[in-house]
Amino acid sequence: MSPSSDHPLPVFRFRVDFFASPSASDGGGDPVPLCSGRFAECSGLEASMEPKAIKEGGRNYGPVQRAGRVSFGTVVLRRGVTTTRDLWRWFELVAKGGYAYRLDVVVSVLDMGADPRSDDVALRWRMRRALPVKFKTADLNARTSDVGIEEVHFVHEGLELEGS
């Protein structure tokens, strides 16, 4: 057997961990891990700044450009599996009015170079104060064995790159 055929999840190149921030849990200390999942696709890890043009008197060549506010894209995780229902519970809690219940989300890109079973992390993206905005389950089809989460969308208030 090849290494990719004896490992059941070779396409899940991302591990996603969800943490309650210290302020939401016990007022201090380390973030509290809530759940973890594996996903085949992740998009929307982006930040952009809107430029501000400032016209200065005596400067005729063009305006001075300054960085404006930073905005973050909606992150979409596709085709994933988790071992708990915590993502759905989080979405449901927010949908029922718990809009202040934010989590930190860490997307770990796994380094599966030589060994697809490896859990070594190549790099991590941390989203601060994430809020779920869409949850879509996989289609139910008797002809396939697909089980899991088709898509989870969330917005957040900060993006950081961690690791070397």
For residue 25, name the pLDDT band (cuts at 50, 70, 90).
very low
* Residue 160 in this model has a pLDDT that exceeds 90: yes
CA dihedral sign, ordered 63, 66, 69, 72: positive
Give domain limits for the chain.
Answer: 14-24+32-45+73-162
The pLDDT assigned to 156 comes to 96
pLDDT, greater one: 35 or 99? 35
Token pair of 20, please?
């309650």
Q: What is the pLDDT of residues 104-156, one digit of tens each?
A: 999 998 876 656 566 788 889 999 999 999 999 877 777 766 557 889 999 99
CA distances from 80 to 68, 75, 77, 99, 115 (A): 35, 14, 7, 24, 21
Q: What is the pLDDT of residues 63-102, one digit of tens each?
A: 899 999 999 999 999 988 888 888 889 999 999 998 788 9
Cα angle for residues 127, 133, 138 (degrees, 5° grid) = 100
pLDDT, greater one: 127 or 21? 127
Closest CA to 116 of 16, 40, 1, 9: 9
